[in-house]
Structure 1
Amino acid sequence: MKIGVPKEIKSNENRVAMTPAGVMMLTQAGHKVKVESGAGNGSGISDQVYKDAGAIIVPSPDEAWAQELVVKVKEPQPSEFSLFRKDQLLFTYMHLAAEKEVADALIQAETTGIAYETVQGKYGDLPLLTPMSEIAGRMSIQSGVHFLEKTHGGKGVLASGVPGVSPANVVIVGGGIVGTNAAKMAIGLGANVTILDINIQRLRELEDLFQGKIRTLASNKYNLMEKVKKADLVVGAVLIPGAKAPKLVTEEMIQSMEPGSVVVDVAVDQGGSIETVDRVTTHQDPVYVKHGILHYAVANIPGAVSRTATYSLTNMTAPYVLRLANQGFEKTMQSDPNFARGINTYKGKVVHEAVANALGYPYADFLSL
């Protein structure tokens, strides 16, 4: 199979969808990999290293996109829509529930879009989303405490406190992969950490995992109101696979916080779970202030630690790419329903039910097309 790896063009997106190890794995299996020149620069991977691994370096995005299978990191940008084709497989993060423009372009071109974030594992987990959720969770705390500093616009609170002075109150809404990793970082910094989730069994697991180092609460409006009001840092860590994130933290709750507090909405790429997150920010300009509260709403948080993120992501995605290349699309998807859950668009239809519902499109069963 002919595989293309274009350079990412989303603002401050320095990850790349394929490492030299992935290239070597594919080329040694008889496939041809074309990597756009400079695609790996942001992750510290030179064109020469790719060439040494067996890749063909191409000078333009058009040539990288002109392959049977295109592998990316983030959803395509408008300037790339014209490169979509009917006979093309696109494998990347898509988050179509919050990206109607991208969905429309894929449908119009009849491109087969396979989304990392909806591929399922054997036990219903999300193996291709997990590595970036781990990083985003940890980065949410790293970035959040940075903006709590007075010199960066915050209220001037040290996460750990000092003897005689209380530590920061960190409230994490959602106890999944993002929330768990946010808690690990916040605990490591010495903060006072509370996690809210609607799944009581998950809260039991978190209590056991952290052995008394966190507090857990059932997620409901009353508990959210009480905890958000006293928080120095709130992390939105809610995920519904394929669907838009629910707005759990209301504007009224944000208004109750002390000025200079910080909110980080990791779910912003799925529409956001904090009501006052009404725009997407970038690493270049990551925060805005609303009701006196600093809002961090970067949609590609792991892009800030691109080298770590690239290797973490491709450790998981490369075996899937190899399977697609070796077996072909139809055989792979018909034999693996968990992988097939990653298909979002096919033959001009939306074939993921949660995505269809979020966008208001009719849902079509992939196997019936």
Structure 2
Amino acid sequence: MRVGTVREIKNHEYRVGLTPESARELVAHGHEVWVESGAGLGIGASDGDYAQSGAFIQPDAKTVFDGCEMIVKVKEPQAVERAMLRQGQVLYTYLHLAPDPEQTKELVESGVTAIAYETVTGPGNSLPLLKPMSQVAGRMSIQAGATALQKATGGRGVLLGGVPGVLPGKVLIIGGGVVGFNAAQMAVGMGADVTILDRDPEVLERLDNHFEGRAKTRFSNRAVVQQMVCESELVIGAVLVPGASAPKLVTREMLGCMKPGSVLVDVAIDQGGCFETSRPTTHAEPIYVVDGIVHYCVANMPGAVARTSTYALNNVTLPHALRIADLGWKEALKANPHLAAGLNVHEGKVTYEAVARDLGYEYTPVSEVLA
């Protein structure tokens, strides 16, 4: 199979779908790899590095899209990229379709077979292709929040760890999954006063045992969310409903009780955000203010640490890419139900139930496509 990767064009996105090492693995399996010139510069990989791995360097994205049977990316295809997709082609990348009707419509119209990293499953209903970026985003959320709390960026002027004689900042983390756990690790390490909310008693028990009192846990309901949002200076939105739009857990009304200059960091923004006042921002303009509250809602947070993120991502995406290239997409999905869960769109049909429900499409089960 001819497999291609292109330079990411989303605002300040420096990751790349295939590292030179991943390209070498595909070549070793007998496949041909095309790489757009400059695609790896954001992670410090030159065209020469890819060429040494056996890849063919192409002058532009159109050449790669036109000539390859499978496109491996990081972020969802932008409008100009969607126009180059075609029926019979496999797109393997993050998609986050539920809050993005325009992208979904154009993928459906293109006829492409689109496999989304974020809905590929693993044992125990885990999301192994989402996990490494959730780890990065969780850790970055505290870093970003701490910066946004500084007075120069419009924040309250609070140092999360405090100093002797001055109380530390209060951090609320809504959601105790991978993002929430990693955010809590960073916040606790900085010496902040940390509370984690979740609705799963087993998750709360696991977090409580891990942090041994260094972070508090509370069962999440509307009353507790409102109380804790009002008390906190940094709120991290870390909730996830796989493949579906994130629930709006913090309303605009709640902002009225927060201290001016407090910060909301919405890590769920890729899925529409879990704060009512959230809207996607970029690394170029990461923050905005609503009712005196600073919002950080960058939709590709891990892109800021592109090298770490790309290698962590390739560690989990490459095995499936090899399987698709070796067997063809249909046989690969038949052989692996976890990979089959990643199929979101195929030849004009929406094949992921949450996306179909949220955006009003007729749902076509993957089993029908594979029959």
Q: TM-score range by the shorter chain?
A: over 0.9
| 1:87-128 deviations in Å (ceiling 9; x for gaps) | 100000000001111111111111100000000002210000
| 1:274-332 deviations in Å (ceiling 9; x for gaps) | 1111x211000000000101000100000011111011101111111011111111111
Residues in 1 aligned to 2:122 and 2:202: alpha-carbon distance in whole angstroms = 20
Aligned to 1:208: 209
Secondary structure, counterpart of 2:357 in structure 1: helix
Aligned to 2:323: 323
Contact 1:170 1:186 in 2 (8 A): yes
Aligned to 1:299: 299
Contact 1:40 1:46 in 2 (8 A): yes
Worse-superposed segment, 253-262 or 286-295 = 253-262
Residues in 1 aligned to 2:48 and 2:179: alpha-carbon distance in whole angstroms = 35
Superposed counterparts of 1:226-245, under 5 Å: 226-245=227-246
Secondary structure, counterpart of 1:98 in structure 2: coil
Which amino acid in the other structure matches residue 192 of structure 2?
A: A
Superposed counterparts of 1:169-318, under 5 Å: 169-277=170-278, 279-318=279-318
Residues in 1 aligned to 2:140 and 2:358: alpha-carbon distance in whole angstroms = 28
Secondary structure, counterpart of 2:123 in structure 1: coil
Aligned to 1:97: 98
Aligned to 1:357: 357
Secondary structure, counterpart of 2:246 in structure 1: coil
State the Cα distance separating 1:366 from its structure 2 match.
2.0
1:33 aligns with 2:33: yes
State the Cα distance separating 1:254 from its structure 2 match.
1.7
Contact 1:345 1:352 in 2 (8 A): yes
Aligned to 1:348: 348
Secondary structure, counterpart of 1:154 in structure 2: coil
Which amino acid in the other structure matches residue 83 of structure 1?
A: M
Indicate the percent of aligned positions where both proteins have the same amino acid.
51
Residues in 2 aligned to 1:22 and 1:42: alpha-carbon distance in whole angstroms = 16
Residues in 2 aligned to 1:57 and 1:122: alpha-carbon distance in whole angstroms = 37
1:79 aligns with 2:113: no
Secondary structure, counterpart of 1:62 in structure 2: helix
Secondary structure, counterpart of 1:97 in structure 2: coil
Aligned to 1:140: 141
State the Cα distance separating 1:76 from its structure 2 match.
0.6
Secondary structure, counterpart of 2:98 in structure 1: helix
Which amino acid in the other structure matches residue 337 of structure 2?
A: P
| 1:12-44 deviations in Å (ceiling 9; x for gaps) | 000001111101100011100000000011111
Which amino acid in the other structure matches residue 113 of structure 1?
A: A
State the Cα distance separating 1:239 from its structure 2 match.
0.2
Residues in 2 aligned to 1:161 and 1:348: alpha-carbon distance in whole angstroms = 55
Which amino acid in the other structure matches residue 314 of structure 1?
A: N
Worse-superposed segment, 135-144 or 146-155 = 146-155
Residues in 1 aligned to 2:175 and 2:254: alpha-carbon distance in whole angstroms = 16
Structure 1 unmatched runs, 5+: none
State the Cα distance separating 1:138 from its structure 2 match.
0.4
State the Cα distance separating 1:336 from its structure 2 match.
1.1
Aligned to 1:121: 122
Residues in 2 aligned to 1:110 and 1:42: alpha-carbon distance in whole angstroms = 31
Contact 1:134 1:178 in 2 (8 A): yes
State the Cα distance separating 1:205 from its structure 2 match.
0.5
Secondary structure, counterpart of 1:305 in structure 2: helix
State the Cα distance separating 1:81 from its structure 2 match.
1.7
Aligned to 1:10: 10
State the Cα distance separating 1:139 from its structure 2 match.
0.4
Which amino acid in the other structure matches residue 137 of structure 1?
A: G
Aligned to 1:53: 53
Residues in 2 aligned to 1:213 and 1:294: alpha-carbon distance in whole angstroms = 26
Residues in 1 aligned to 2:334 and 2:105: alpha-carbon distance in whole angstroms = 25
Secondary structure, counterpart of 2:146 in structure 1: helix
Q: Aligned residue pairs: how many?
A: 368
Which amino acid in the other structure matches residue 289 of structure 1?
A: V
Aligned to 1:333: 333
Residues in 2 aligned to 1:100 and 1:4: alpha-carbon distance in whole angstroms = 26
| 1:333-357 deviations in Å (ceiling 9; x for gaps) | 1111111000000121000111111
1:366 aligns with 2:366: yes
| 1:152-175 deviations in Å (ceiling 9; x for gaps) | 211110010011110000000000
Superposed structure 1 runs of 4+ greater than 6 Å apart = none
TM-score norm. by structure 2 comes to: 0.98
Contact 1:254 1:276 in 2 (8 A): no
Which amino acid in the other structure matches residue 69 of structure 1?
A: M
RMSD: 0.7
Which amino acid in the other structure matches residue 313 of structure 1?
A: L
Residues in 2 aligned to 1:320 and 1:368: alpha-carbon distance in whole angstroms = 21
Worse-superposed segment, 328-337 or 182-191 = 328-337
Structure 2 unmatched runs, 5+: none
